């Protein structure tokens, strides 16, 4: 019962190093620019640190969404998705680079620099009874330890999933696939726990007095959505370069589009729940976070999210037609990736660009933001091409590959 597909396995080949070099080059230049802009502001790199967190969170969220997707495919023994799974596995395994990118921020915390995470300054904590109450959790060393645990978990799961899947490419039996199915459930538990608390630690604690129990789900929803968007863009890019042209077809895009739509909707549901409950109860210890985001230029960003992250893509992706026209689908995928970046920006940046000092929309967005996003992205994509390297771009010997190749939506 072994299916050996007599076919040339599609790989990146020498394109891997070519694309990798371009990504690295662009990334390094953007990083240098970001460092220069950050230094030029003379604010002790405060603005740069915030922008860097936004950039890291954005690229990390795509990897985490990919991790979720791959685990779910094994958990449910999905057949349709085999041809798009290797790209997802590569994205999911690409967390070591985000750990390295994130490391400087942890180093700043350990150094006692509180410009990004205000709780990193013991004097500030001592003056704030609310912060003092949670000091055992928001402790620099404990924080660093948790960050290591989060990234370590993601790295180990992501790499293991990729390793086993690649093993299946050359295996004569189906043991690697069965192993993936057996380990997927505990991997999901580890994923859920780490993502939930990482969202609190990495993003929510930027405003350490604010809290929202749904915050982890919010970050999760955006992450999975951005993964599906990235997946569509990446597959289209590969196909433009003559790869996976016969393997991935409109049926697979249609399903990716359905999930993209579903997670646009799910994100909106979670975002609405968080906002509505806090707005309705009107408790000052919670509302101040939204108040910042409803005043001055931040109100504009909030409205951009409402329309750009929910209403417009919801209408745009609703119809079957839109999900099966690759031009339209790719447009919305790119659009939603931009929205994910705006969302991360909206979560983090109001702490530094507050409405207290009157700022305009042009004033809250800085070249630093763009430079950081591109810089982190260049490094992240470079690492992705390194991982992709000589690997086949689809699981060539997956037992369910025939199902995926023959898959049709009814």
Partner 1 sequence: MTVDSTSALHLDEPYARPVLVEGDRDIAAVTRRVCGVVEAPKPPKAWYVAITITSAMTVMLFGCVAYLIATGVGVWGNNSPAFWGWDIVNFVFWVGIAHAGTLISAILFLLRQKWRTSINRAAEAMTLFAVCCAGLYPSIHVGRIWVAYWLFPVPNQMQMWPNFRSPLLWDVFAVSTYATVSLLFWYMGLVPDLATLRDRATTKLRKGLYGFFALGWCGSARHWQRYERAYLILAALATPLVLSVHSVVSFDFAVSQVPGWHTTIFPPYFVAGAIFSGFGMVVTTMVPARELFGLKELVTLRHLENMNKVILATGSMVGLAYATEFFIAWYGGNPYERFVFLNRALGPYWWAYWLMVFCNVVAPQFLWVKKIRTNLWAMFVISIFVNIGMWLERFVIVVTSLTRDYLPTSWGYFAPTWVDICTFAGTFGLFLTLFLLFCRYLPMVAIAEVKTVLPAAHPHGGHGHKEGAHHG
Residues that bind partner 1 (CB under 8 A): 1, 3, 77, 79-80, 129-130, 133-134, 137, 174, 177-178, 181, 185, 189, 192-193, 196, 200, 209, 211-217, 258, 265, 269-270, 273-274, 276-278, 280-283, 285, 399-400, 402-403, 406
Other C-beta atoms lying within 10 Å of the C-beta of residue 49: 25
Q: How far is the CB of 23 from partner 1 (least distance, A)?
A: 35
User: Whole-angstrom Cα distance, residue 53 to residue 345?
Assistant: 9
Residue with smaller CB distance to partner 1, 98 or 292: 292
Q: How far is the CB of 225 from partner 1 (least distance, A)?
A: 15
Residue in 177, 230, 176 with CA at minimum distance from that of residue 67: 230
Residue pair 389/16 in contact (Cβ under 8 Å)? The answer is yes
Residue with smaller CB distance to partner 1, 40 or 145: 145
Read off the tokens for 326: 């690759």
Q: How far is the CB of 94 from partner 1 (least distance, A)?
A: 26
Residue with smaller CB distance to partner 1, 110 or 130: 130
> Half-sphere exposure of residue 71, counting CA atoms within 13 Å on the CB side?
25
User: Whole-angstrom Cα distance, residue 35 to residue 322?
Assistant: 41
Residue with smaller CB distance to partner 1, 33 or 251: 251
Residue pair 325/236 in contact (Cβ under 8 Å)? The answer is no
User: Whole-angstrom Cα distance, residue 59 to residue 373?
Assistant: 8
3-state secondary structure of 3: coil
Q: How far is the CB of 368 from partner 1 (least distance, A)?
A: 30
Residue in 138, 151, 142 with CA at minimum distance from that of residue 195: 151
Residue with smaller CB distance to partner 1, 98 or 231: 231
Residue with smaller CB distance to partner 1, 43 or 127: 127
Read off the tokens for 313: 């893509």
Residue in 76, 36, 31, 82 with CA at minimum distance from that of residue 56: 31
Residue pair 259/336 in contact (Cβ under 8 Å)? The answer is no
Residue with smaller CB distance to partner 1, 237 or 269: 269
Q: How far is the CB of 135 from partner 1 (least distance, A)?
A: 10
Residue pair 16/85 in contact (Cβ under 8 Å)? The answer is no
Q: How far is the CB of 132 from partner 1 (least distance, A)?
A: 9
Which single residue is written with the structure tokens 């009814």? Answer: 410
Residue with smaller CB distance to partner 1, 129 or 327: 129
63 burial class (0-12, 13-18, 19+ CB within 10 angstroms)?
buried
Q: How far is the CB of 406 from partner 1 (least distance, A)?
A: 7
Which single residue is written with the structure tokens 């939930």? Answer: 196
Residue with smaller CB distance to partner 1, 49 or 212: 212
Q: How far is the CB of 59 from partner 1 (least distance, A)?
A: 25
Q: How far is the CB of 345 from partner 1 (least distance, A)?
A: 21
Residue with smaller CB distance to partner 1, 40 or 130: 130
Residue pair 376/26 in contact (Cβ under 8 Å)? The answer is no
Q: How far is the CB of 295 from partner 1 (least distance, A)?
A: 21
The DSSP annotation for 255-277 comes to HHHHHHHHHHHHHHHHHHHHHHH
């Amino acid at each position: 019962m072994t299916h050996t597909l007599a076919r040339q396995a599609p790989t990146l080949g020498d394109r891997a190093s070519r694309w990798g070099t371009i990504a690295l080059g662009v990334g390094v230049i953007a990083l240098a620019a970001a460092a220069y802009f950050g230094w030029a502001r003379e604010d002790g790199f405060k603005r740069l640190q915030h922008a860097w967190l936004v950039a890291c969170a954005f690229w990390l969220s795509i990897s985490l969404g990919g991790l979720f997707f791959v685990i779910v495919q094994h958990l449910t023994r999905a057949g349709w998705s085999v041809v798009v799974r290797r790209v997802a596995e590569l994205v999911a395994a690409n967390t070591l680079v985000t750990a390295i990118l994130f490391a400087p921020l942890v180093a700043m915390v350990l150094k006692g620099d509180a410009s990004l995470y205000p709780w990193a300054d013991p004097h500030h904590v001592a003056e704030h009874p609310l912060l003092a109450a949670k000091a055992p959790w928001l402790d620099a060393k404990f924080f660093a330890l948790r960050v290591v645990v989060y990234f370590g978990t993601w790295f180990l799961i992501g790499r293991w999933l990729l390793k086993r899947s690649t093993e299946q490419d050359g295996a004569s039996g189906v043991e690697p696939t069965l192993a993936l199915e057996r380990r997927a459930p505990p991997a999901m538990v580890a994923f859920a726990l780490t993502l939930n608390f990482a969202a609190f630690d990495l993003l929510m604690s930027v405003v350490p007095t604010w809290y929202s129990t749904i915050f982890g789900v919010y970050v999760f929803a955006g992450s999975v959505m951005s993964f599906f968007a990235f997946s569509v863009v990446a597959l289209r890019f590969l196909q433009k370069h003559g790869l996976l042209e016969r393997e991935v077809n409109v049926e697979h895009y249609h399903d990716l589009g359905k999930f993209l739509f579903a997670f646009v909707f799910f994100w909106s549901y979670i975002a609405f729940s968080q906002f509505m409950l806090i707005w309705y109860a009107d408790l000052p210890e919670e509302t101040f976070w939204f108040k910042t985001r409803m005043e001055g230029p931040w109100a504009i960003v909030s409205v951009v999210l409402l329309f750009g992250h929910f209403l417009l893509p919801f209408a745009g992706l609703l119809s079957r037609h839109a999900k099966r026209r690759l031009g339209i689908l790719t447009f919305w995928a790119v659009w939603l990736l931009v929205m994910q970046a705006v969302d991360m920006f909206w979560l983090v940046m109001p702490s530094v660009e507050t409405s207290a000092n009157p700022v305009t929309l042009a004033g809250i967005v800085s070249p630093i933001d763009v430079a950081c996003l591109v810089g982190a992205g260049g490094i992240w994509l470079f690492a992705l091409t390194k991982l992709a390297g000589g690997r086949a771009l689809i699981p060539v010997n997956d037992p369910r590959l025939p199902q995926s190749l023959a898959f049709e939506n009814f």
